[in-house]
Amino acid sequence: MVPLSYYLVLSAILFACGIAGFLIKRNIITIFLSIELMLNGVNLSFVAFAAQLNKLEGHIFVFFVMVVAAAEAAVGLAIIIAVFRTRETLNVDRVNLLRL
Amino acid sequence: MLALILFFIFALLCVGGAINLLVQKHPINSALSLIVVMGSLALIYLLLGAEFVAAVQVIVYAGAVMVLFVFVIMLLNAGEEERLPHGSRVATMLGVPALIIGLGIAAAVVSHLAGLDRIAIGGPTVMNGENVFGNPQAVGHLLFREYLLPFEVTSILILVAIMGAVVLARREEE
């Protein structure tokens, strides 16, 4: 059997990698992938605590996080497509004006 | 003991995939390494006895969401990431400290929870030869009784997200 803290450490490492990718990367799609990585890290700690406390509510929360992440991915990728149509770039440093 | 070995194998795969996501320059390579992370996370969920969550992780995350990502990367023909000389340096400089702080928090969690480590967790709660803790039946009972209203609200959220995605990605008529 695996101790709880191992799961929490893995979840923290995934979350930290997500934050680092969010800040370091300049490609808008990779930044979006880093957000998904952070969400996955949080989901892991939800499931680990659900097993620790023997409560199923953690699994329900993971389900809702996944639903919101799917909705966010659909809308976010649509925004990326719209940005790419007008700017012809995916680099966030080149997207620095609200107007066209 | 077997659970510990399996956990370490999949945890190493997870961390390797996450670091590969940071190192790779091309977004398609980052997306594929994120699929590795999600697949091994699904197996870690199985180690925790969360069958339903593991299945949804593979079907929704590694399946639907990542297919969407890969599709958009190929649709936009995204090339290697370019670095502009006048680009945001602050964010890049913050990235490495953020990683170190995150790992520091992880270390703090370990030292704080050292007392809890005697309670080892994981593995399905077996009753009459069946996993009764995280199986779809148990989750479904909870989801459709106590959490029925939030569940219905998510369907509206998904509907609004679909309509928003269609409106945003539509080509405007000249």
- The residue ranges of every structural domain in chain B are 1-78, 135-174
Q: Indicate which of B53, B57, B73, B143 best probes the interface with A, i.e. most A CBs within 10 Å of its own CB.
A: B53
What is the b/e burial string over B7-33, where b = at least 16 CB atoms within 10 angstroms of the residue's CB?
A: beebbebbbebbbbbbebeebeebbbb
Nearest-by-Cβ selection for A1 from B14, B121, B168: B121
Residues in chain B: 174
Where are the domains positioned within chain A?
4-87
Residue B130 DSSP label: E
Strand, coil or helix: B131: strand
Closest CA to B158 of A84, A70, A65: A70
Give 3-state DSSP helix, strand, coil % of chain B, rounded to 5.
75, 5, 20
Tell me the CATH class for A4-87: mainly alpha
- Residue B130: what pLDDT? 63
| Per-residue model confidence as pLDDT tens for chain B (174 residues) | 888 899 999 999 999 999 999 999 899 999 999 999 999 999 999 988 888 999 999 999 988 999 999 999 999 887 777 777 666 677 677 777 777 787 787 777 777 766 655 555 655 565 566 666 778 888 888 889 989 999 999 999 999 999 999 998 887 765
Q: What's the ipTM?
A: 0.92
**CA gap A57, B30 in Å, rounded:** 32
Which residues in chain A have Cβ-Cβ distances shorter than 8 Å to B96?
20, 24
> For residue A75, what pLDDT is reported?
94
Cα separation of B148 and B46, whole Å?
A: 25
pLDDT of amino acid B66: 93
Q: Is B46 helix (H, G, I), strand (E, B) or coil?
A: helix
Percent of chain A with pLDDT over 70: 99
Q: Residue A83: in which H helix or E strand, if any?
A: helix A57-87
Span between the terminal Cα atoms of chain A, in Å: 57
Nearest CA of chain A to the CA of B130: how many Å?
16
- The CATH code for residues B1-78 is 1.20.120.1200
CB B37 within 8 A of CB B14: yes
